[in-house]
Every structure is written in C-alpha cells, then in structure tokens.
Amino acid sequence: MFDTAVIIETVVKAVIVVAVIAALAGFATFIERKVLAFMQRRLGPMHVGPYGLLQLAADGIKLFTKEDIIPQNAIKPIFMIAPVIAATTAFVAMAAVPYFPEFTLFGYTIHPIISDINVALLYVMGVASVGIYGPLLAGMSSANKWSLLGAARAVVQMLSFEVVSGLSVLAPIMMIGSLSLIDINDAQTGGIGDWLIWKQPLAFVLFAIAGFMETNRAPFDTVEFEAEIVAGYATEYSGMRWGLFFIGEYANMITISVLVSIIFMGGYNAFWFIPGGLMMLLKVSFWIFLFLWVRAAWPHVRPDQLMWVCWKVLMPLSVVNIVITGFALL
Amino acid sequence: MSENLFLASCIVAFLTLFLPLLFLASARLGPRSETKNKHMLYESGISSPIGTSEGRMSAKFYLIAILFVLFDVEIIFMFPWALNLRELGFLGLFEMLTFILLLAAGLWYVYRIKALSWQ
Amino acid sequence: MPKAFLERFEKEVSIDAYGAYKLDASLILQALHVLYQNDGYTFLVDMTAIDYLHQPSALRRFAIVYLLRDRLFSNVITLKIDVDETLAIDSIASLFKSANWAEREIWDQYGIHFKNHPNLKRILNHKEFIGHPLRKDYPITQGQLCHKSDDLMDEMTPRLKRKGIESHDALMFLNLGPAHPASHGTIRTFVALESETIRCAISEIGYLHRGFEKSCENHTYNQIIPYTDRLNYCSAILNNIAFAHAVEGILGIELPDRAQFIRVIIGELSRMIDHLVCLAAILVDMGALTNYWYLYNPRESVYDLLSKLTGARLTNSYMRIGGMSHDLYEGFEHDLHVCLKAIDTGVGDTLTLIEHNRIFHDRTQNVGIISQEEAINRSLSGPNLRACGVAYDLRVNAPYYHYESFDFDMALGSVGDVYDRIMVRFEEIRQSKRIIEQAMKRLPQGAVCVADRSISLPPKHEVYGNIEGLMNQFKLVFEGVKVPPSESYRAIEGANGELGFFIVSDGSPKPYKVKVRPPCFYAMAAYPSIIEGGMIADAILSLGSLNIIAGELDR
C-alpha cells in the first residue's frame, strides 16, 4: 500500500518534528519565564546554570520523577488518558504544517512537511479542535468541582472561538482558492507587500484573537486561572500527566504561530538577504514573544465576556469581512 | 495524498503515545508513598465538602453547545464555496449572501432571546 | 448631642461615670430607633460586651456597649445596657445589618443570647468549642482541640429558601477558601453556584482566630503593642498608633508635637504600603501579573526604611504609650524621599498599564456594587465606604495629630464598585504622599515621648546617672503604665477603615478588657451580599477590593 521509502521518510520527519517541537515547548517555558521577568523588572531563573538555562533540565527531572497521584473517586482510565489526548492532538495537528522551504540534502530533495495535503488548513484546525477533549475529559473525570468548572469554561471558550477562527480564515481562502498551506505560502512570494496581512487586515486580527483563545493564553486564560478556579481542569493532575498538558499547550502555541506566519505574514518566503527558513523562525519567535508580551501587559477577561466578544463582535465582523471580500474579488 | 496524511497522522500519534509511556516508566524513578489523605479531593481544604462534581450542570452550556453545532456546520458549507469563489461568480456570491443573511437572522434571534448571556 | 433621644427617654436615661448613656435593656431597640431616625445616628461603629465578674461594684455581671456615629461621623456616643440573669437581650440586627455579625461575636465570646437574631451561631471560635472565652472565668491557658469542619448547610438552606430557591438539584456547592489561591489568608466563602453564577454565598471566618483580646487582658499596655502588629500586618504601624492613641486618650495626655508629626509620617507611609498590597493583590487576581512587581518593589523599599528605623520589616512595634520607642535616625529624610519616589514611579507605571485598559474597565466597573445606604448600614468604613461616595474619613471628620492643618483631598468614588474601590486607593496613595511631604517640612524639634515618668522611660543617662531615673525605669518596666479606671473608645483612620480600640481599664497596669474594631470585620460581613448574583471571577475581585486582612478579621 505504501512505498517503503515514503514510510521511512515520514517516520524520520515525524520523529524530528515531535522531538524538536517537544524540546521547543520546553524551551518556550524558559523563554516565557525570562521574558516575563524582564518585563516585570526582575531576573527570572538565575541560579541553575548560566543565566538559569539549566533550570529547564531541573524542571524536566522534577516532572519526570514526581509521584503520579490519582485522586479517589476519579474515573481512572479517562483520567489517565486525558493528558495524552491533549498532547497527541497538538502534535498530530503538525503533520500537515510546512515549516521551511524545501531544500536538498545529500542529493535528496526534502520537503519539510510531514505530509503535504490539499486540505491542510482544514486538517490542522480540525485536529486542533479535537484537542478540546483533553481538558474536557480531564475536568469531568477528576471528580473535582474546580476541574469541572475548568472543563465547562474550556468548552464554552472552544465553542466560542472555533466559529470565529473558521470564519476568519475563509477570506484568505477565497483570495487564494486553496486550502493547502504550501499554496497559501506560495501566493505570497513577492516580498512584504505581498503578505496577506495587508489585503486582509481584519481577518488577520480576528484569526490572531482566535489563536490567543485556542491556546488559552492571556487575556483569555480563563480555563486554568488559579485565582478563580485554582488550576481548572488540571487541579488534580501531578507529575508528568500535568506535564503533558503543559507540553500540549506550548505545542499549540507554536502551531498557531506557524499558522499565522504562513497564512498572513508571508510564510517561509525569503526576504531580501534573509533566507526563508530564518524568516520563518523569526516570525514564529515574534509570535511567541507577542503571546508573552500580552500576558505581561493585560488583565484577563471573564468567561462570559469572552463568549460575548466572540459571538456578538468577532463573529459578525468576520461575516462582514467575507461578504466584502466576495464583492471585492468579483 | 490522503493516504499519505493518514500514514503521517498515525506515525505522529504513535510517537506521541510513545512519549508518555516513556514518561510514566520514568515516574518509577521518583519516590512513592501511599497515604490516605494524599488521594483526597481538593476543595480548598474542606475535608467533607457538600455534593460531588457529578451533579447536573447548568443548561446554559448545552444551549451554547447546540448553537455552536448549528453555526459551525454552516461554516463548513462555506468552505467549498470560498474555494470556488471565482468559478461560481456573482450567482454563487448572492446565493451565499442569502445563506449568510439567514445565518445572521438566526444569530439575531439567538441574541434577542438572550441565549448568549449568562445571567 | 442626641436631642430627640434625650427628650424621649428623659426619665430612663442616665449618664454613667465614663460618659455612656445607660438605659434599661428592654428599651434598647426603641432607643436605637429614635437615635437612628430622629438624631441621625445611622452608623453603628461597633458593639461589644463587658464582663464585670472581677469588678464587685457592678450590679450586673454583663453589660452590652453600643458605639454609634452620627451623619457627620464626628461624634461617637456610647450606649450601655446591663444584661439581667436571663442573659438574653433584643437583637438590633433588624435595624443595623452590621449588628448581625457583631452580635454573633458577643454570643460566641460572652454567651449572651440575642432574641430574634436571624442566625445566632459562633463566629470566631470553632463550632465544637465549649464555653465562652472572653468571660473572666474562662482560664486564659485552656486550649481546646477542634477539627471537624462546619458544612454550613444550616445557614445555606434557609438563605436559599429566602431567595426562593427550594431545590438544590441545579446547584453546585463550592468552598472558595480557606485554602484557595485568592482567599487572602484563610477566609472561607461557601457558595451555591448555578453554572458560574453565585446564587447564594456564606462566609465563615475564624480560621486565624488566636484570642488577641483575651491575650490583652493578661499583658501590660506596652506589651500589647507587639500584638497589635499582628492585626493588620500590612500596616502594622497604624495598628500600633491606634492602640497607643486609645490608651493615651484614657491617660489624658497630649503628645509632643514632634511625636505627633512622626506618627503622621510613618502612619501615612503605612497606609501607602497597605494600599499597595491591596492593589497588587487584586490586580494579580485579575491576571494583570506585571503590576504585582511594579507595586511590590516600592513597598520593599518602604520596608527597608522601616527596618532601618524600627529594626523589623513587618511587625514594627515602633509606638509606645505616650510616644514612640526612639526618634528618627540620621538621614531619614533622604531615605523617605527615595521611598516616595519609588512609590510614585510604581503607581504611575501601574496606572499606565491599566487606567485606559478596556479589559480592566470591563472587569471592574459595575461589579461588586454596594450602595451608600447599604454600606453605611453595614458599617463599612475607610476606602470601601468612600468608594460609595460617603465623605467619611476620620482624618477629616474627627481630626487628630493636627490632620486638620494638612492640605489634602479626600478621594471619593461614585458607584461603589470594584473600580471605585481600586481608584480611591490609588488616589489615597497620592494624597498620603502630599501629607508626608507637608509633615516633613513642618516637622518640629523636641522630644518624641511625653515627659511624664510614669508613662515613658527616662533617658538612659538618667537611668545610669541618678537614683531617680533608675527608680523610674525600674518601676515602669516592672509594673507598666498604670491607666486610671475608664471605659472609652478612640479611633483613627486605619488603612482599610476606622480602626478603633474600646478599652476598659481598672487602674491596674493591665487592661481589664480590650475590644478592637477591625474595619474589615464589617466589610467581610457585607461580602456575601455583594457577590450574590455575580460570577466567581467577580467574587474574587470583590474580595480583593474590600482589602480583607485575615489577621485583624479573626484576631
């Protein structure tokens, strides 16, 4: 059914992507602590290794060796599987995301995408929304009221932003006429002026807001905000199970950053003397930084305000945007 | 192509399923001690809370869920149209406009019956 | 003078040796009605009981004391009734909502029953506790081990019924606290939720109760000052001042001007850091994390100054009866200037982050509203009451320490929501800075303690140099300050409201009874009614904005 070479190539790519993204997710936690610290006039981790870099390893070891506690009354199989769902869906979504321009290694052309498909965008968004089952199942199986509230918030939040993110990418799709992320990237080859962000500023803003909601980042981090609902769905989790939620969240952050970079900000096209691969890294880094910047700057919203803004502001706006785009294109 | 995707998804899923197994094996490295209180549920330090988390949830959540299903399915209808916008032309646009108007009317109705407010 | 009251009860009222209006227990509800409606005494400052077991001259063992303020908040009158052998009197909770918890406290501590009280149960002590600890025959060393937590359904069910909710099916009962990230110490609020809307709430306090008032009865006046540090530990100095001020009132002494000005300076500095803590905490509760460091770093510099001045960071114990432990140090003015500048920068940075932030406005405006009438009836005070637009600040209404001579404005809110409470505090930090700057300019030279050797310690060279000084030191250290018999209440404007001490002295060096009026006790009593109908997220903000400090709440 499959060519052996294809299988081997896919396995190798998948191993690299999972390993690199998992490592990056860990590194992102360190970056987050450092960036937030500098914005808050303090130093952040400083004692473990140079500039606290080994803090990362220390945290990893701590998580690895922590006791795995399953509370009484919890529905055990679901409780155990929920974090795996959260992490897995975050990584599976990356199967259709291109990261770099294709390049040649040892005379072999490599496409830095695990699987190039023509409905990549739909696939990524679909799989990412399956990820909601992680928090939902975790919250409902923990037998803890805070967890249940967290799960309810997660669902309400997901139901709200999903409509917006779906509608906001429609306008770029109308302009390009393809759901493949590689096609979308190739449509923006002509330098900064060609980026979709200029033609679709509204869609860009809407999609970015939906991205913040999808990753549970401030100002929409209602799902596990400790001052209100302790740790939300993750209240009863400890050790590596909690760590999986964590990795999933940061992997999601990276996916969203990559998606926004590709759809609206010219993707991995080379710019001036900067090669495309580096451009992509720069853009993703910028987005990660933006996530942290917003967290440092703003208070966060109430769950009902989040719903309000999604259904009554963002959704009508994105519909209007689609209509305008339709008329402008024809 | 879609077979390729299926394969890729399976591989990635398998890989990530493999990771937690590794992690859980490594959990044996840490100390373990079983005490009765360790597995107690946390509710702000109250040892005998009233009620469990298995009670009924407010119907509000179900209402929103159903609304979501309605609107999200409608968005799915718009994707094929968006892809073939140029071929379908003005006729397609006006057809979609009608559809969107219906959708907007639905949203207006939902708004009016206050299904989207929490109080 | 409560004219209508004196006319109406001309025959029944007598004035006792300490200036309190005494009348028969059966008349109290009528009397309070007249005072409330005709004389405008609408603010119940505090109420407490006195156990006269060790004072044989008293006819009855127990007396209840009511402290009331009029509409101008400048006059306090004391009403006193004797309790007969039935140990039961009428509850005034129907007239003053704030009396609800105050009466519960009296029942808890003294075992006096209040007829027609809506919910007379223990409040500070555990429900398994046996006896009434503030009675004179309860041994001060007798501890009791209680560990079963109260499920609070005995309060929840009737309260839900009053709101017309009979069925508990759709409700989720949840404990917000005592061990919750946003419970500000150990405060428990038990809520009935419908999705995330709070239908009904009940607060339980006492998790930090350590018998402050009982301990006071066993210590000399100056020994009590370190205890007062632990009341509102965010502004320990103000608590020192309030206690010393109350005792000095009984002694009838006037502090030297320098001492008064230093008390103003250090007190206002304390007020600033108290507000900084409150604001930082509420902004973190809102997710605006960065402001925490912007507001806490200047607080740290104030603590540096305080530790240089007093030797301690948090629990300073700087004040003494009749003055303070020592004068300002060399270079204090420079350090103070650095602190004020740091606070200015921190507050400015925070305001640039939140002042025009839409999310901040949406989260705080029209959230946790308490109306003027309700706030007065519930005896809220300080910034919480001023946020409702009530011009009540003891520094203005009943000035002490030359406050009338300082040029500063009273910050007032208009709606009484979380936003107003936050912004009033921001403004008060600015006003405190103005007061400190004026006080520093006018700071006179001179002694920092009264010259009376029966109150304040003699200078060291006298102790070592002549017999009289040595004797003075010896007597004061071994016996303590002897305070003439009295029953009096005196208050200052604390950081989160009117902070007063009702002290019964019997001529000995130890107080016969001390009752502190902790401002957040009444704020906490009002809290459940503020959050009902809101959401969990609003409840957290309301708690933060009321600035509840468990140390003084539970005593």
Q: Which of A39 and A104 is assigned the larger pLDDT?
A: A39
- A327–B43: do the CB atoms touch at under 8 Å? no
Q: Which of C467 and A277 is assigned the larger pLDDT?
A: C467
Nearest CB among B44, B48, B60 relative to C176 is that of B44
Q: Which of C420 and B44 is assigned the larger pLDDT?
A: C420
Q: Is residue B87 part of a domain?
A: yes
Domain with residue B109: its CATH number is 1.20.58.1610
- C357–A300: do the CB atoms touch at under 8 Å? no
What are the residue boundaries of the structural domains of chain A, listed by start? 4-329
Q: Locate A77 and state its tokens.
A: 């199989």
Instruction: Determine the 3-state secondary structure of B46 from DSSP.
Output: coil
The C-alpha of B112 sits at a distance from chain C's nearest C-alpha, in angstroms, of 21
CA distance to A230, A293, C169, C433, per residue, from C280 (Å): 19, 19, 38, 18
Q: Is residue B119 part of a domain?
A: no
> C449 pairs with which residues across the strands?
C323
B39 contacts on A by Cβ (under 8 Å): 69-72
Q: Confirm or reject contact between B90 and chain C (CB < 8 A).
A: no
CA angle A244, A249, A253 (to 5 degrees): 145
pLDDT band at B5 (very low <50, low <70, confident <90, very high): low
Rounded percentage of chain A residues whose pLDDT exceeds 90: 2
Supply the range of the domain harboring residue B109: 1-113
pLDDT at site C142: 83
Q: Confirm or reject contact between C184 and chain B (CB < 8 A).
A: no
pLDDT band at A149 (very low <50, low <70, confident <90, very high): confident
C283 contacts on A by Cβ (under 8 Å): 299
The C-alpha of A154 sits at a distance from chain C's nearest C-alpha, in angstroms, of 13
Q: Is residue B118 part of a domain?
A: no
pLDDT at site B52: 67
Cα–Cα distance for residue pair C129/C122, rounded to 1 Å: 9
B55 has a pLDDT exceeding 70: no
Contacts of A253 (CB under 8 A, 6+ apart): A25, A28, A215, A217, A288, A291
Q: Locate A17 and state its tokens.
A: 């992507």
Q: Confirm or reject contact between B19 and chain A (CB < 8 A).
A: yes
Q: Which of B91 and C339 is assigned the larger pLDDT?
A: C339
Cα–Cα distance for residue pair C259/C257, rounded to 1 Å: 5
A168 has a pLDDT exceeding 70: yes
Nearest CB among B46, B56, B118 relative to C175 is that of B46
- A240–B79: do the CB atoms touch at under 8 Å? no
Of A102-106, A186-190, C49-53, C191-195, the one with minimum mean pLDDT is A102-106
Residues 232-271 (A) with a CB less than 8 A from some CB of B: 235-236, 239-241, 243-244
With tokens 């190039």, the residue in question is A116
- B24–A118: do the CB atoms touch at under 8 Å? no
- C153–B50: do the CB atoms touch at under 8 Å? yes
Q: Give burial (CB, 10 Å; 0-12/13-18/19+) of C13.
A: middle
- B86–A91: do the CB atoms touch at under 8 Å? no
The answer to whether A138 and A245 are in contact (CB under 8 A) is yes
Nearest CB among C181, C297, C357 relative to A298 is that of C357
B1 has a pLDDT exceeding 60: no
With tokens 């604390």, the residue in question is C494
Amino acid in the structure at residue A320:
V
- B56–C170: do the CB atoms touch at under 8 Å? yes
Give the distance from CA C238 to its chain's centroid: 10
- C195–B57: do the CB atoms touch at under 8 Å? yes
Nearest to A294 by CA among C353, C367, B71, C105: C353
The C-alpha of B92 sits at a distance from chain A's nearest C-alpha, in angstroms, of 10
Q: How many CB atoms lie within 10 A of CB C136?
A: 16
A68: left (phi over 0), alpha (psi -120 to 50) or beta: beta
The C-alpha of A204 sits at a distance from chain C's nearest C-alpha, in angstroms, of 21
The C-alpha of A114 sits at a distance from chain B's nearest C-alpha, in angstroms, of 6
Cα–Cα distance for residue pair B44/C174, rounded to 1 Å: 9
> C113 pairs with which residues across the strands?
C88
Provide the terminal-to-terminal Cα distance of chain C, rounded to the nearest Å: 33
Cα–Cα distance for residue pair C410/C413, rounded to 1 Å: 10
Residue in chain B lying closest to C198 (CA): B119
Q: Give burial (CB, 10 Å; 0-12/13-18/19+) of C441.
A: exposed
Nearest CB among A152, A166, A178 relative to B72 is that of A166
Looking at the 3D structure of chain B, how many domains does it have? 1
C196 contacts on B by Cβ (under 8 Å): 118
Residues 91-150 (A) with a CB less than 8 A from some CB of B: 91-92, 94-96, 114-118, 122-123, 127, 140, 142-148
- C194–B58: do the CB atoms touch at under 8 Å? yes
- Which chains contact B through at least 3 pairs of Cβ atoms less than 8 Å apart? A, C
pLDDT at site B56: 61
In chain A, where does DSSP find H-type helix? 4-39, 55-65, 76-92, 120-130, 133-141, 145-176, 181-186, 196-199, 201-214, 226-229, 239-264, 276-297, 303-308, 315-329
**Tens of pLDDT along A42-94?**
888 888 888 888 888 888 888 777 777 888 888 888 888 888 888 888 888 88
Nearest to A299 by CA among A219, A210, A198, A179: A219
Cα–Cα distance for residue pair A120/B8, rounded to 1 Å: 13
Cα–Cα distance for residue pair B22/B4, rounded to 1 Å: 27
Q: Which residues of chain C have pLDDT under 70?
A: none
Q: Which of A117 and A283 is assigned the larger pLDDT?
A: A283
The C-alpha of B64 sits at a distance from chain C's nearest C-alpha, in angstroms, of 13
Chains A and C: how many Cβ contacts under 8 Å?
81
Report, as an integer, the average pLDDT of A177-198: 80
Cα–Cα distance for residue pair A301/A313, rounded to 1 Å: 15
In C398-443, where does DSSP find H-type helix? 418-442
Task: Give C119-181 as a 3 state SS string.
Answer: CCCCCCCCCCCCCCCCCCCCCCCCCCCCCCCCCCHHHHHHHHHHCCCCCCCCCEEEEECCCCC
- Which chains contact C through at least 3 pairs of Cβ atoms less than 8 Å apart? A, B
Residues 24-83 (B) with a CB less than 8 A from some CB of A: 24, 26-27, 29-33, 38-43, 49, 52-54, 57, 61, 64-65, 67-68, 71-72, 75, 78-79, 82-83
Cα–Cα distance for residue pair A303/A223, rounded to 1 Å: 8
Give the single-character DSSP code of C19: S
The answer to whether C261 and C403 are in contact (CB under 8 A) is no
**Tens of pLDDT along A224-273?**
787 788 888 888 888 778 888 888 888 888 888 888 888 888 878 777 77
The C-alpha of B115 sits at a distance from chain A's nearest C-alpha, in angstroms, of 11
Q: How many CB atoms lie within 10 A of CB C250?
A: 22
C286 contacts on A by Cβ (under 8 Å): 227, 299-300
- C149–B43: do the CB atoms touch at under 8 Å? no
pLDDT band at B61 (very low <50, low <70, confident <90, very high): low
Residue in chain C lying closest to A303 (CA): C537
Report, in this order, helix, strand and coil percent for chain B, each rounded to 5: 70, 0, 30
Nearest CB among B41, B107, B118 relative to A304 is that of B118
- A302–C174: do the CB atoms touch at under 8 Å? no
The C-alpha of B64 sits at a distance from chain A's nearest C-alpha, in angstroms, of 7
C289 contacts on A by Cβ (under 8 Å): 36, 40, 295-296
Q: Confirm or reject contact between A41 and chain C (CB < 8 A).
A: yes
A152 contacts on C by Cβ (under 8 Å): 195-196
pLDDT at site B22: 63
Nearest CB among B26, B100, B110 relative to A323 is that of B100
Q: Is residue B82 part of a domain?
A: yes
In order of their start, the domains of chain C are 3-115 (3.30.460.80), 212-554 (1.10.645.10)
The C-alpha of B5 sits at a distance from chain C's nearest C-alpha, in angstroms, of 40
pLDDT band at B24 (very low <50, low <70, confident <90, very high): low
Chains B and C: how many Cβ contacts under 8 Å?
51
pLDDT at site C341: 92
Of A5-14, A144-153, C180-189, C403-412, the one with minimum mean pLDDT is A5-14
The answer to whether C313 and C303 are in contact (CB under 8 A) is yes
Residue in chain A lying closest to C285 (CA): A227
